[in-house]
Amino acid sequence: MDASPLPPHPSFQDESVARAYSRCRELEKTLAMEARVLGYLLLLAPEEEGRRYLASEINPDPVDDSGNKTDDSVVRGDETLCLLAKLYIAAFIRCFRSAKGPTPDPSLHPSHISFEGNVVELSYKLMEPPSSHQMAKHKAIRRDGGRCVATGKYDLLTAQSDASSLEFKIPPDAPCCMTEAALIFPSSINRNIAGGNEGAAKNDWAASVWAVMEHFGNVRVLDELNGDNIHRLENVLTLSHDIHSAFDQLKFWFEATNANANEYRLRTLWSRLMVDKDTIVTLTTPDPQCLPLPSPKYLALHAACCKVAHLSGAAEHIDRCFRDLDGMRVLAEDGSNVDVLMFVLEGITV
Per-residue pLDDT reduced to its tens digit, 208-263 = 888 899 999 999 887 898 888 999 999 999 999 999 999 999 999 999 999 999 99
Same structural domain for residues 163 and 248?
Answer: yes
Same structural domain for residues 289 and 323?
Answer: no
Beta bridge partners of 182: 237
Query: Could you give the 3-state DSSP secondary structure of residue 156?
Result: helix
Same structural domain for residues 171 and 248?
Answer: yes
Band (pLDDT 50/70/90 cuts) for residue 2 is confident
Band (pLDDT 50/70/90 cuts) for residue 106 is very low
Same structural domain for residues 319 and 258?
Answer: no
DSSP state of 91: I
Quote the CA–CA distance of 11 and 124 in Å, as a whole number. 47
Q: What confidence score (pLDDT) does residue 344 get?
A: 46
Same structural domain for residues 111 and 249?
Answer: yes
Same structural domain for residues 242 and 322?
Answer: no
Instruction: Please state whether beta strands 252-256 and 236-240 pair in parallel, antiparallel, or not at all (unpaired).
Output: unpaired
Burial tier of 185 (Cβ tally within 10 Å: 0-12, 13-18, 19+):
buried
Beta bridge partners of 255: 265
Same structural domain for residues 339 and 276?
Answer: no
Query: Could you give the 3-state DSSP secondary structure of residue 4?
Result: coil
Residue 196 forms part of a structural domain? no
Contact 307, 252 (CB under 8 A): no
Q: What confidence score (pLDDT) does residue 133 get?
A: 86
Query: In the chain, what is the straight-line distance between the N-terminal and C-terminal CA atoms, in Å?
Result: 26
DSSP state of 147: B
Contact 310, 269 (CB under 8 A): yes
Quote the CA–CA distance of 144 and 22 in Å, as a whole number. 44
Residue among 235, 254, 230 at smallest CA distance from 307: 254
Contact 36, 315 (CB under 8 A): no
Band (pLDDT 50/70/90 cuts) for residue 42 is very high
Band (pLDDT 50/70/90 cuts) for residue 277 is low
Quote the CA–CA distance of 83 and 181 in Å, as a whole number. 34
Domain of 257 in residue numbering reads as: 106-185+235-294
Contact 149, 239 (CB under 8 A): yes
Q: What confidence score (pLDDT) does residue 191 get?
A: 56
Residue 101: half-sphere exposure toward Cβ, Cα within 13 Å: 11
Residue 155 forms part of a structural domain? yes
Same structural domain for residues 176 and 245?
Answer: yes
Residue 30 forms part of a structural domain? no
- Rounded (10°) angle between helices 78-88 and 201-217: 100
Q: What confidence score (pLDDT) does residue 131 get?
A: 74
Mean pLDDT, rounded, for 67-92: 76
Same structural domain for residues 144 and 283?
Answer: yes
Quote the CA–CA distance of 205 and 33 in Å, as a whole number. 21
Whole-Å CA distances, 15 to 10, 45, 63, 173, 191: 12, 16, 11, 58, 40
Residue 258 forms part of a structural domain? yes
Residue 41 forms part of a structural domain? no
DSSP state of 97: S
Count up the domains in the chain and report the number: 2
Same structural domain for residues 240 and 163?
Answer: yes
Quote the CA–CA distance of 136 and 291 in Å, as a whole number. 10
Same structural domain for residues 253 and 158?
Answer: yes
Residue 230 forms part of a structural domain? no
Quote the CA–CA distance of 341 and 321 in Å, as a whole number. 9
Residue 99 forms part of a structural domain? no
Residue 271 forms part of a structural domain? yes
Same structural domain for residues 239 and 332?
Answer: no
Per-chain mean pLDDT for the chain: 80
